[in-house]
Amino acid sequence: MKKLLGLISLTLFMSGCSDHSANPEEVLVSAASSLTEVMKEMEQQFQEVEPNIELTFNYGSSSKLRSQIEQGAPADLFLSASEQDMELLKSQQLINTDSIEPFAENQLVLASLEEFSATANFKEIVLNTEKKIAIGEPDSVPLGAYSKKALENDNLWNSLSNRLIYAKDARQVVTYVESGNAELGIIYSSDAVISREINGTLEVPGQTKPIIYPGAVIADSENQPAATAFWEFVTSSEGQAILKEYGFMPVAGETP
C-alpha cells in the first residue's frame, strides 16, 4: 500500500512538473486532419528557427475543431480546411480578424490503389462499377462537403448515393482506400501525394471553386506572440515550400 501511494504521489509530482500553463512558449495548434503529415515536417523545421517554442497539435475535421473553439477549448492557432468554419469563428469574434490569411490550396482527386489508365474518364469510372466510394461526411466534414458539391455539379450525386461510404474526417477516407476496404475514394490531392499505397489519382471534375485553407490566431490565446511566430513561419516562403512538397498548392492571387 505504501509503495502504491509512493507511486501515485510520484506520478502526480511528475505531471505537476510538466504543467502546460507554466510554460508560456507552448503553442497549441488546432489543425485540419488533412494537414497531419505536413505539420510534422513544419514542426521540425520551425524548431530549428525557434527552439524555445513548443508546438502541440490537435487534429480533427475543421468543423469539429471550430466547435471545440466555440466551446472554449484551449487553442492558439487555427489552421482550417474550410473558409466557412473560419467565417463562423470570425462572426463570433473568436479569432484575430487581422491574422486571417489563406495559406494553402488543395483539390479533389479520385483515388485508387491501382493506377488508372491514361484515357480514364472520371464519369465512366464512377458510374460503370459496383465499387464502393469513400467520401467525407457531407454535412460535417469539409472534404465531404466539397465532394458532394463537385458530384452535384456533374449530376452524379443521386446516382452514386447508395455506393458512398461516409468517413468522419479526411484521414479516414484515405485509410479506407489504403486498406482496400473501399476501392475508390475522393480525397485531397495532397493526401494522394504523400500516400505510398495510392497509385491511381484522377482529378474530380465539377470543382468550380478552389479549396482554400485559411489560418488565424485565436483571439483569447495567451501566447499571441509565439502563435504569431509560428503562423508567420507557415505563411513564409519556407513554410510554403514545405506545403508544396506535401502536395499543397500556393494560394493563387494572394495579396498579403
Question: What angle is formed at CA 236 by the lines to CA 227 and CA 230, rounded to 5 degrees?
Answer: 15
Told to check if 59 binds another protein by CB under 8 A, we report: no
Told to check if 141 binds another protein by CB under 8 A, we report: yes
Told to check if 143 binds another protein by CB under 8 A, we report: no
Binding-site member from 68, 116, 165, 229 for another protein (CB under 8 A): 165
Q: Is 190 annotated as a binding residue?
A: no
Query: Distances from the Cα of 179 to the Cαs of 3, 126, 189, in angstroms?
Result: 46, 19, 18
Binding to another protein, residues 145-164 (CB under 8 A): 162, 164
Which cell goes with 176? 479506407
| Contact by Cβ (8 Å): 230, 77 | yes
Told to check if 62 binds another protein by CB under 8 A, we report: no
**Count of positions on this chain that bind another protein (CB under 8 A):** 21
Q: Is 147 annotated as a binding residue?
A: no
Q: Is 140 annotated as a binding residue?
A: no
Binding-site member from 33, 63, 96, 195 for another protein (CB under 8 A): 63
Cell 466557412 sits on residue: 84
Terminal Cα-to-Cα distance of the chain (whole angstroms): 63
Stretch that binds another protein, among 12-20, 129-137, 217-225, 234-242 (CB under 8 A): 129-137
Q: How many residues does the structure list for the chain?
A: 256
Binding to another protein, residues 16-45 (CB under 8 A): none
Stretch that binds another protein, among 2-10, 118-126, 174-182, 210-218 (CB under 8 A): 174-182
CB of 198 or CB of 243, closer to another protein: 198
59 forms beta bridges with: 31
Told to check if 199 binds another protein by CB under 8 A, we report: no
Q: Name the minimum Å distance from CB 189 to another protein.
A: 23
User: What is the b/e burial string over 124-156, where b = at least 16 CB atoms within 10 angstroms of the residue's CB?
Assistant: ebbeeeeeebbbbbbebbbbbbbbbbbbeeeeb
Stretch that binds another protein, among 50-58, 97-105, 139-147, 234-242 (CB under 8 A): 139-147
Q: Name the minimum Å distance from CB 234 to another protein.
A: 26
How far apart (Å, rounded) are the C-alpha atoms in residues 50 and 87? 30
Binding-site member from 87, 153, 166, 249 for another protein (CB under 8 A): 166
Binding site for another protein (CB under 8 A): 61, 63-64, 67, 132, 134, 137, 139-141, 162, 164-168, 176, 179-182
Residues annotated within the binding site for molybdate are 34, 62, 188
